[in-house]
Amino acid sequence: MKVHDTRSHAHMSSDDKVMARKHKAEGKLPESDHSPKKAKPENGNGAGDSAAVSEFKEFCEAVKANLSVEQMKQVLESNGQDSSGTHDEVISRCQDLLFYGALEKCPVCGNDVYCDNKRYFCKSDISEWCSCVFSTKSPPRKEDSIKIPDSVLNSAVSDMIKKRQDPSRRPKRELRAADKPFSGKMVSLMGRLTRTHQYWKKKIERHGGKVTNSIQGVTCLVVSPAERERGGSPKLVEAMERNIPVVSEAWLIDSIEKQEVQPLEAYDVVSDLSVAGKGIPWDKQDSSQEALELLSGELKMYGKRAVYKDTRLRERGGKILEKDGLLYNCAFSICDLGKGRNEYCIMQLITVPESNLNLYFKRGKVGDDPNAEERLEEWEDTEAAIREFSRLFEEVTGNEFEPWEREKKIQKKPHKFFPIDMDDGVEVRHGALGLRQLGVAAAHCKLDSFVANFMKVICSQEIYKYALMELGLDPPDLPIGMVTDLHLKRCEEVLLEFIEKFKTTTETGQKATALWADFSSRWFSLLHVTRPMILHDFHELAEHGAAVFETVRDINVASRVIGDMGADTLDDPLSDRYNKLGCKISVVDKESEDYKMIVKYLETTYEPVRVADVEYGVSVENIFSVESDAMPSLDEIKKLPNKVLLWCGSRSSNLLRHVYKGFLPAVCSLPVPGYMFGKAIVCSDAAAEAARYGFTAVDRPEGFLILAVASLGEKITELTSPPEDTKSLEEKKMGVKGLGRKKTEESTHFVWGDDIKVPCGRLVPSEHKDSPLEFNEYAVYDPKQTSIRFLVGVKYEEKRAEYVDVEPQ
C-alpha cells in the first residue's frame, strides 16, 4: 500500500464560533448567559472583587497542599459532582465546590456542569445531533451545606472548609468578561463610510479602542472599498507606503458582532492577494469575501459518480468504484451547534486506468481547507480496500456501510457524521454553463431569440450559484443540488416534526434555546451550510428552514433537467432543454392588448422594493406567455369558479421547476407571511408583494414575476389574522383571501379573457390596519386550480439613495 500525503493531517478543532452571513438573521453560538446581569470586573481567577480573589487564591493553595486527589474525589462524590477527569480538573472542581458551594445540575438536560475559568457549561447531549447548549458565567448552586467526608474533616484545612458550609457566608463567583475587541487598538477612519466618523468613534471607544486622524502608529485604516477605485487620497497612499493594513468597514461591524477582533487581512481592500490565498477560515472572513471566493470556485463533487476534484485523479480517467451494485462514494456532514462544530467528510474508492485502486479520505472544518485531514492511498488488493472503506464508514458514522448503501438504513449516533445522500447525476453548478458560453448557444439556437435568451437565463450556472450562495448552501465539497428524493424527504420530515414541537412547547429560556439548537443542528447537518446558526423564532424558521428547503428542492429539479451541458455534443443544447420542459413559451407582442394589460396591472399595483436606504423601481423587459403540460390549460381553468389573475414572486433559480412541474403548495404551516395559510399556493393582487421575492441583489437587477390564474372555488373565506388551524382549510381545499393593510382600489378592477377578474387598482389603505399582511394574499390548496399564464421579465432600477446616521446603541 502506498500513501500520498497531499496536505496537513492535523485534526480539526471544533471550538470556533460560527456566524450567519449578513443577509441572514443574526444567530450566535452559546457563549454566555443571557441574563442581563453583568459580570464583575475581571481578574486572574475569575472571582468577584480583589479581596475575594485573594482569599480564593489562598484557599486553593491550602486545599491543594493538604488534600490528596483521592480525598478531593470523595468530596465531589459526596456532593453529587463528577469526580472523573485529570488531576488538574479534579482539583479545580473541588476547590470551586468547597469555596463557592456545590453546583446544581444543568437546568437544560439535568447533567453535570463544568468550568473552564471562562464559563460554566454542560458537556452532555441534548440529542444524538446536538450537545447541550447551557453556558453561563454565574451558575446556580445548591443552598445545602457542603458534605465533608471524614478523611477531610481530619485534615489540616478542615476549619477553613467548615467556614464555607453555611451558604449565606459564601461569596458569589462570577467569571470575568472577555476583553473588549478593540482593546489596545488605534484606528484611523477615512472617506465616506455608511456611518459618520463620529458614530464609529463612539463605537470603537465603547469597545476598548481609540480613534485618531493620523496614520502614524495606527493598527489599521478603515475606508470605503470605493477609495481604491478613486485612486486614493494622500492618507491612503501614506498608509500603503507604511504597510499599514487598509480594511473595509465590515471589519468594525464583524469584530463588534462577534466580540472578537477579526483578522485584518480578511478585510483588506487594497491588496490583490485573494483571501483564499491567505489561509483564513471562512468563519473568520468578511462574508462578502467568502461569497466571492465560493462564487468563483469550482464544485469539487457534483454527484454520486463524481471523483472529488482534489484527488487530481479525474485528469487520469479516474472513476468511482462500482461493485456488486454498490458505488463507493460517500459524503458526510456534522453540525453540532452546542460544540460549535461544522464539518464535512469525503470517502471514495477510485479506479484509475493502468493503476491500482485508490482510497481517498478527507475530513475537516467547513471553510478551513488548508487544515483538513486528507490522504490518498493506493491499494493493490481490492477486497482489502473495500474492507478499509467499510471500516472508515463505521468509524465516521457509527453504522455499517452496506445496509446504508443498499437500503438507506442508518441511525444517527452522538458526535458522529451523517451521510448526505447524493444522487446519481450532475449538480447544476457543475452541469450548467455560464452565461457567456450560453450566449453563444443562444445565438445559434433554433428557438425564437427572446425564448432562447430566456432559456439561457434559467439554464445558467450563475442563478443557481447565487441562490445557494445567498442561502449559505454553497460549500464546494458537497453537491446539495444533487441529493436523492429520500434525503429531501428526510429534511421535510425533520422540518415538520419540529414545527409541531415549536407550536406546542411551553419551554422558555435556555430550555427553549436547547430545542431550537437541536433542530438547527439536525437541519444544518442535513442541509450543509457554510455558517450555521441557532434559529430562534418562526420568522427565522420560515427564512432559513422552509424557504431554504423549497429552493433546494427546486434546484435539484433544475439539475436533472439541465444535466451535464459541458459534456453535450448537441448542436442546440438550449432547444434540447426547452423540449424537456414540455411546455410552450412565446414572447408577447408589445403592441398586443395582453401586453398593455399586464404593464398596466404591474405599474398600478407596484410599490418600490426597499433595500437598506435605497428604493428600487421596476421596468418591464419582456413578457412571455406559458402553456405547460404540467398545469391546467386556460380552457380547463375557465370552467372553474371565481377565477382571478394574480401575481406570484419567485427567484430565478426556482423558475425552471415552476414551468416544468407547475406550482407546489408551501411545505409547511407557520404563523408568518408566506406560510400562514398552511400548505397552500399563495399569490397576491399586488405586484409589490411579488417583486420582493423576485428581487435578488443590486448587482443582479434582472428578475421575473409570475402571473397565474387561480380559481378560488365556490366559496371564498376571508381572513384578517392567521388561521389557528390550517389543516381543515387544506383538507377542504377552500379558497382563502387574506386581507392586508393595503388593498387595490376596486373601482378600477376589470375582467380579462371573458370571466377572469383582474384586481388592478391603485394601492390604498384598507380598514384592516392590524393585519399581519401588508397586501392581500390569496391561498389555493389544489395545484389543479392554478395555472401559470405569463412570465414578466423585469429590471429593478435604483430610484434614490438616502443616508441615515443612526446613533450607537
Q: How far apart are CA 448 and CA 446, in angstroms?
A: 7
Residue 551's contacts (CB-CB under 8 Å, 6 or more residues apart) are 467, 468, 471, 651, 653, 654
3 state SS of 559? helix
Lowest mean pLDDT among 30-39, 83-92, 632-641: 30-39
Nearest CA-CA partner of 780 in 627, 644, 655, 689: 644
- DSSP per-residue codes, 59-107: HHHHHHHHS-HHHHHHHHHHTT----S-HHHHHHHHHHHHHH-PBPPPT
| pLDDT, position 696 | 66
Q: Is the pLDDT of residue 494 over 90?
A: yes
| pLDDT, position 112 | 94
Q: How far apart are CA 677 and CA 389, in angstroms?
A: 48
Residue 456, CA distances (Å) to 332, 340, 572 in order: 33, 41, 12
583-592: average pLDDT: 95
Cβ atoms of 709 and 664 closer than 8 Å: no
Q: How far apart are CA 791 and CA 34, in angstroms?
A: 48
Burial 699-730, CB ≥16 within 10 A → b, else e: eebebbbbbbbbbbbeeebebeebbeebeebb
Nearest CA-CA partner of 686 in 649, 716, 647, 651: 647
| pLDDT, position 613 | 65
508, amino acid identity? T
Burial of residue 154, with CB atoms counted within 10 A of its CB: 0-12 exposed, 13-18 middle, 19 or more buried: exposed
Cβ atoms of 474 and 452 closer than 8 Å: no
Please compute, for residue 719, the number of CA atoms within 13 A of its CA located in the half-sphere on the CB side.
21
DSSP state of 175: P
Nearest CA-CA partner of 730 in 640, 637, 666: 666
Q: Is the pLDDT of residue 724 over 50?
A: yes
Q: How far apart are CA 760 and CA 737, in angstroms?
A: 16
Over residues 5-64, the pLDDT tens digits come to 333 333 333 333 333 333 333 333 333 333 333 333 334 444 445 677 788 899 999 999
Q: Is the pLDDT of residue 422 over 50?
A: yes
Lowest mean pLDDT among 329-343, 469-483, 776-790: 469-483
Q: How far apart are CA 475 and CA 647, in angstroms?
A: 34
Q: How far apart are CA 665 and CA 730, in angstroms?
A: 10
Lowest mean pLDDT among 241-245, 620-624, 738-742: 241-245
Nearest CA-CA partner of 281 in 663, 13, 28, 474: 13
Cβ atoms of 762 and 715 closer than 8 Å: no
**pTM, full prediction:** 0.79
Burial of residue 786, with CB atoms counted within 10 A of its CB: 0-12 exposed, 13-18 middle, 19 or more buried: buried
Q: Which residue has the cell 487544515?
A: 371
Q: Which helix (H) or strand (E) holds 603?
A: helix 593-604
3 state SS of 204? helix
Q: Is the pLDDT of residue 132 over 60?
A: yes
Q: Identify how many contiguous H helices and E strands the chain contains and give both numbers.
A: 26, 30
Q: Is the pLDDT of residue 741 over 90?
A: yes
Residue 73's contacts (CB-CB under 8 Å, 6 or more residues apart) are 83, 90, 94
Burial of residue 243, with CB atoms counted within 10 A of its CB: 0-12 exposed, 13-18 middle, 19 or more buried: exposed
Q: How far apart are CA 727 and CA 743, in angstroms?
A: 27
3 state SS of 583? strand
Q: How far apart are CA 766 and CA 750, in angstroms?
A: 20
Residue with more model confidence, 114 or 277: 114
487-507: average pLDDT: 95
Residue 312's contacts (CB-CB under 8 Å, 6 or more residues apart) are none
155-172: average pLDDT: 84
SS (H, E, C) 662-728: CCCCCCCCCCCCCCCCCCCEEEECCHHHHHHHHCCECCECEEEEEEEEEECCCCEEEECCCCCCCHH
Lowest mean pLDDT among 275-284, 291-300, 341-350, 462-471: 275-284
Q: Which helix (H) or strand (E) holds 248?
A: strand 246-248
Q: Using CA of residue 726, residue 727, residue 729, residue 733, what is the dihedral sign?
A: positive
Confidence band (pLDDT; 50, 70, 90) for 198?
Answer: confident
Residue 58's contacts (CB-CB under 8 Å, 6 or more residues apart) are none
Nearest CA-CA partner of 122 in 660, 543, 517: 517
CA dihedral 433, 438, 439, 440 (to 10 degrees): 110
Burial of residue 292, with CB atoms counted within 10 A of its CB: 0-12 exposed, 13-18 middle, 19 or more buried: middle
| pLDDT, position 281 | 57
310-337: average pLDDT: 96
Most confident of 180-184, 366-370, 410-414, 801-805: 410-414
| pLDDT, position 344 | 96
Percent of the chain, pLDDT > 70? 87
Per the prediction, the chain carries an average pLDDT of 86
Stated length of the chain: 809
Helices (H), 163-302: 197-206, 226-229, 234-241, 250-258, 287-296
All three cell numbers of 106: 444543568
| pLDDT, position 273 | 41
Cβ atoms of 795 and 705 closer than 8 Å: no
Q: Is the pLDDT of residue 345 over 70?
A: yes
Most confident of 18-32, 46-60, 548-562, 603-617: 548-562
Please compute, for residue 126, the number of CA atoms within 13 A of its CA located in the half-sphere on the CB side.
25
Nearest CA-CA partner of 457 in 786, 694, 698, 628: 694
638-643: average pLDDT: 92
Strands (E), 93-196: 113-115, 120-122, 135-136, 186-189
Over residues 742-774, the pLDDT tens digits come to 999 999 999 998 789 999 999 999 999 999 999
Q: Is the pLDDT of residue 803 over 80?
A: no
| pLDDT, position 49 | 57
Q: How far apart are CA 80 and CA 250, in angstroms?
A: 48
Nearest CA-CA partner of 751 in 590, 648, 643: 643
Cβ atoms of 304 and 329 closer than 8 Å: yes
Q: How far apart are CA 36 and CA 479, in angstroms?
A: 43
Residue 434, CA distances (Å) to 167, 438, 439, 471, 473 in order: 70, 6, 9, 20, 19
Confidence band (pLDDT; 50, 70, 90) for 698?
Answer: low
| pLDDT, position 320 | 97
Q: Which residue has the cell 491543594?
A: 64
